[in-house]
Amino acid sequence: MAPFDLDACIQQLLRKQLLHEALLREICTKTKEVLMRESNVVHVSSPVTVVGDIHGQFYDLIEIFRIGGFAPNTNYLFSASDYVDRGLFSVETISLLTCLKLRYPDRVQLIRGNHESRAVTQNYGFYTECMRKYGSSHAWTYFTDMFDFLTLSVVIDDRVFCVHGGLSPSIHSIDQIKVLDRFREIPPDGPIADLVWSDPDAEKEDFAISPRGAGYTFGSGVVHKFLEINQMSHILRAHQLCMEGYTSLFDGHLSTVWCVQSSPYCRYRCGNSASILEVGPGGSMYFNVFEAAPENDRDGPSQQAAQSANGKLPEYFL
Cα separations in angstroms, 244 against 45, 123, 210, 295, 314 = 27, 28, 23, 21, 29
Query: If we measure between CA atoms, which residue out of 100, 54, 102 comes closest to residue 80?
Result: 54
DSSP 164-221: SS---TT--SHHHHHTS--SSPPPSSSHHHHHHH-EE-TT-SS-EE-TTSSSEEE-HH
Strand order in the sheet with 76-78: 108-110, 76-78, 48-51, 274-279, 285-290
Each residue's pLDDT expressed in tens, for the chain with a length of 318 residues: 457 899 999 999 999 999 999 999 999 999 999 999 999 999 999 999 998 888 888 998 998 899 899 999 999 988 656 789 888 999 999 999 999 999 999 999 999 999 999 999 999 999 999 999 999 999 999 999 999 999 999 999 999 999 999 999 999 999 999 999 999 999 999 999 999 999 999 999 999 999 999 999 999 999 999 999 999 999 999 887 766 668 899 999 999 986 554 444 444 445 567 788 899 998 899 988 877 777 877 776 555 544 444 444 333 332
* Active-site pick, 115, 164, 234, 239: 115
CA separation for the pair 82, 238 (Å, rounded): 9
**Amino acid at site 247:** T
Q: Which of 161, 185, 259, 172 is nearest to 221 (CA)?
A: 172
Give helix 138-147 / helix 126-134 axis angle, nearest 10°.
140
B/e letters for 191-202, b = 16+ CB within 10 Å, e = fewer, are bbbbbbbbbbbe
233-247 exposure pattern, b = at least 16 Cβ within 10 A, e = fewer:
ebbbbbbbbbeebbb
Query: How many other CB atoms are found less than 10 A from the CB of residue 313?
Result: 15
- Does the reported pTM lie above 0.85? yes
Query: Is there a catalytic annotation at residue 20?
Result: no
Give phi and psi for 267, each to the nearest 5.
55, 35
**Helix residue ranges, H only, 104-186:** 118-121, 126-134, 138-147, 174-178
> Could you tell me whether strands 216-218 and 199-200 are parallel, antiparallel, or unpaired per DSSP bridges?
parallel
Structural domains present in the chain: 8-308 (3.60.21.10)
